[in-house]
Amino acid sequence: MAVQTVVTSTDSSAVDLGPAAALSCRECGHRVPLGPVFACEECFGPLEIAYDFSAYDTEELRKRIEAGPANIWRYAPLLPVPADVAEKPNLNPGWTKLVQADHLAGELGVEPGKLFVKDDSGNPTHSFKDRVVAQALEAARAFGFTTLSCSSTGNLAGAVGAAAARAGLRSCVFIPHDLEQGKVVMAAIYGGELVGIEGNYDDVNRFCSELIGDPAGEGWGFVNVNLRPYYAEGSKTLAYEICEQLGWRLPDQIVVPIASGSQLTKVDKGLQELIRLGLVEDRPYRIFGAQAKGCSPVSTAFKAGHDVVRPQKPDTIAKSLAIGNPADGPYVLDIARRTGGAVEDVTDEQVVEAIKLLARTEGIFAETAGGVTVGVTRKLIEDGVLDPSLTTVVLNTGDGLKTLDAVAGTGLTATIRPTLDSFREAGLA
Ligand SMILES: *Cc1c(COP(=O)(O)O)cnc(C)c1O
């Protein structure tokens, strides 16, 4: 990947992104000023946001968060956004429900009161991606970009289209040409340009990296490429919300889906920050990664004990997770191993079963990615890897209405004439 030099219409020293102090390399620690860059100029490692939280008093910060709006901006003091972010036009995602899932717990053999589903289908464009796009939008504004773009497995395209529409920016997004109809419509409806690429997500991503280095992409903020350090921080809000909703307590176990692996690494970063800030008690927690078998490069590496993630060619109904060459794969392996977690995968059949199980036990209709996390949770419990006596949070990151094909065949119980006789004949009385 080419190193992007800082090209910005504003002086980066004047950029106000709240507590964000600099970009720092995750490999060598080299620091550079905030800008639309994503790779280290020294070692090509990925850059992430470094903060200055030194001025915060724990109790004051807790009160400030609790008094904040019922969306991700209650955590603005911990995000790369200006203090007045909530007043600007954006979609205000987050503060989604943490559902105590006792019926599902019963089916999975988890103790009552111990299993929770964090249901991110309740976000404005019905996936967790609104969280990350909201951060990237602030970075795009700060750096003076006029077009918002991305490479997407579907949900991100919709989230970018909607956020750009709300902010009054142009959007032009790129997806594999063969995605689910629900994802395509959701990405197109907000009026931006939607381009299907003949290839899989990894081809789309490579194309976008080329476009960034070309004059044709000038002035474009690619939320998950040149704005990736900012974008990625949005996933921390999942960790913040889960802990606050549990009464400022760490869960013991979290099951997180893996596409690029960004979400999982930032959920961990969010938990670490809460511990460091004193907002939660420092106790061990375990992070589990979930993939579909048809695209399981990280779980394959985990099980083989490898540190390197070998790319795969995806073939699964869980298209939102179908990244064959996950950028954050090695970091996911580190986190799963450091926290005593694991990375596991389930077949497409198990994904569909899990979607139906969650719907019939808790009234939550998950997209395929949610089928992956619930299916993996079930498998990890059966295999004795996940402890059913501990507090466990399973992420549902998207809405089943976008992946209806996955549950094709689900439909009418019976078709009857409008008479009581007909109703009785159908055996429904
Ligand atoms: C994008 C996405 C994820 C996770 O993506 P990462 O690249 O691993 O951060 C999970 N679930 C859904 C539904 C998604 O769209």
Residue 3 has pLDDT above 90, yes or no: no
In the reported structure, the alpha carbon of residue 330 is separated from the centroid of ligand 1 by a whole-number distance in angstroms of 16
For residue 256, report the distance from its CA to the centre of ligand 1, in Å. 9
Q: Quick check: 1 pLDDT over 80?
A: no
Q: How far is CA 183 from the centre of its chain?
A: 16
Supply 208's token pair.
């976008």
Is 259 close to ligand 1, i.e. is its CB under 6 Å away?
yes
Is the CB of residue 257 below 6 angstroms from any atom belonging to ligand 1?
yes
**Which atom belonging to ligand 1 lies closest to the Cα atom of 266?**
9
Pocket lining: 90 vs ligand 1, CB cutoff 6 Å = no
pLDDT of residue 429: 85
Which residue of 121, 128, 323, 365 sits with most ligand 1 atoms within 8 Å of its CB, as the best mutation to test the pocket?
128
390-422 per-position pLDDT tens digit: 999 999 999 999 999 999 999 999 999 999 999
Confidence of residue 11 (pLDDT cuts 50, 70, 90): very low
pLDDT tens sequence across 115-141: 999 999 999 999 999 999 999 999 999
**pLDDT band, residue 9 (cuts 50/70/90):** very low
**Is the minimum distance from the CB of 325 to ligand 1 under 6 angstroms?**
no
**Is the CB of 46 inside a 6 Å radius of any atom of ligand 1?**
no
Q: Give the model confidence (pLDDT) of 56-98 as tens digits.
A: 999 999 999 999 999 999 999 999 999 999 999 999 999 999 9
CB of residue 129 inside a 6 A radius of ligand 1: yes
Residue 38 has pLDDT above 60, yes or no: yes
Which of 153, 183, 397 is the best mutation target for the ligand 1 pocket, counting ligand atoms within 8 Å of the beta carbon and taking the most? 397
CA of residue 238 to ligand 1 center, whole Å: 12
pLDDT digits (tens, 9 = 90+) for 197-218: 999 998 999 999 999 989 999 9
Please indicate whether residue 263, judged by its CB atom, sits closer than 6 Å to ligand 1.
yes
Residue nearest (by alpha carbon) to ligand 1 atom 7: 260
C-alpha 386 to ligand 1 mean position (Å): 22
Does the Cβ of 291 fall within 6 Å of ligand 1? Answer: no
- Answer yes or no: is pLDDT of 180 > 90: no
- For residue 149 and ligand 1, the question of a CB distance below 6 A is answered with no
| Tens-digit pLDDT profile for residues 269-314 | 999 999 999 999 999 999 999 999 999 999 999 999 999 999 999 9
Can you tell me the distance from the alpha carbon of 148 to that of 160, in angstroms, rounded to the nearest whole number?
7
Which domains, ranges and CATH numbers included, belong to the chain?
Answer: 97-126+233-407 (3.40.50.1100)
Average pLDDT of the chain to the nearest whole number: 95
Nearest CA owner, ligand 1 atom 5: 259
Residue 13, pLDDT > 60, answer no
Position 413 scores a pLDDT of 92
Among protein residues, the one with the nearest Cα to ligand 1's atom 4 is 259
Nearest ligand 1 atom, CA 259: 8
